[in-house]
């Protein structure tokens, strides 16, 4: 599999296009960090004591996409995707890896959540709100939060990938 193309967000776009473009930039960055690695490498932890893996990051970000764009924005009843152990109420946000978890399984789930996110955002304005934590949250705030979430985790992915095979700037 070859690394997905990662277009630079436009330098002079309107606010919505900028937010969506940066979110897509970071989504693609994470996919590129995973490109060309074996299942075993995708399960390798960063460094003690951190248990963060590239596969765990993909699972986590599938959960984050589901949470913000389905549960919060669209008010859907969408249960967690990746639950450790037998307790469906116990979730670590996808970071923990089940014994049989694979990137081949996680990647289409993450991509499907991204697709649902795009669909749920398509008909909403940046100022549209949804109930959240006793108040209202705008789509603009969610986009901004998601850009930050992905940027932070792409930084983690940089370190994990470098530890695995020395590649940087992927």
Determine the angle formed by the axes of helices 139-165 and 15-34, rounding to 10 degrees. Answer: 20
* The overall pTM is greater than 0.85: yes
Assess if residue 4 is contained within a domain. no
Alpha carbon distance, N-terminus to C-terminus of the chain: 14
User: What is the domain range of residue 123?
Assistant: 15-165
Assess if residue 9 is contained within a domain. no
Task: Place 7 in a pLDDT band, splitting at 50, 70 and 90.
Answer: confident
Task: Place 127 in a pLDDT band, splitting at 50, 70 and 90.
Answer: very high
Q: What secondary structure letter does DSSP report for 68?
A: I
* Region for residue 15 given its phi and psi (left: phi exceeds 0; alpha: psi -120 to 50; beta: otherwise): alpha
**CATH code assigned at 62:** 1.20.120.450
Assess if residue 161 is contained within a domain. yes
Q: Could you report the per-residue pLDDT of 50-82, keeping only the tens digit for each? A: 889 999 999 999 999 999 999 999 999 999 998
Number of domains forming the structure of the chain: 1
| pLDDT value at 87 more than 60 | no
């Amino acid at each position: 599999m070859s690394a997905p193309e990662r277009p630079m967000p436009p330098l002079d776009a309107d606010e919505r296009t900028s937010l969506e473009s940066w979110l897509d930039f970071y989504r693609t960055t994470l996919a590129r960090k995973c490109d060309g690695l074996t299942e075993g490498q995708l399960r390798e932890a960063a460094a003690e004591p951190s248990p963060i893996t590239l596969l765990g990051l993909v699972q986590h970000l599938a959960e984050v996409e589901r949470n913000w764009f389905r549960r919060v924005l669209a008010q859907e009843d969408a249960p967690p995707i990746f639950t450790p152990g037998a307790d469906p109420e116990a979730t670590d946000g996808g970071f923990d890896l089940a014994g049989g978890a694979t990137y081949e399984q996680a990647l289409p789930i993450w991509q499907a959540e991204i697709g649902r996110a795009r669909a749920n955002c398509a008909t909403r304005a940046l100022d549209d709100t949804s109930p959240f934590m006793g108040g209202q949250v705008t789509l603009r705030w969610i986009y901004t939060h998601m850009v930050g979430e992905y940027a932070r985790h792409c930084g983690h992915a940089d370190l994990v990938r470098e530890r695995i095979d020395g590649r940087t700037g992927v």
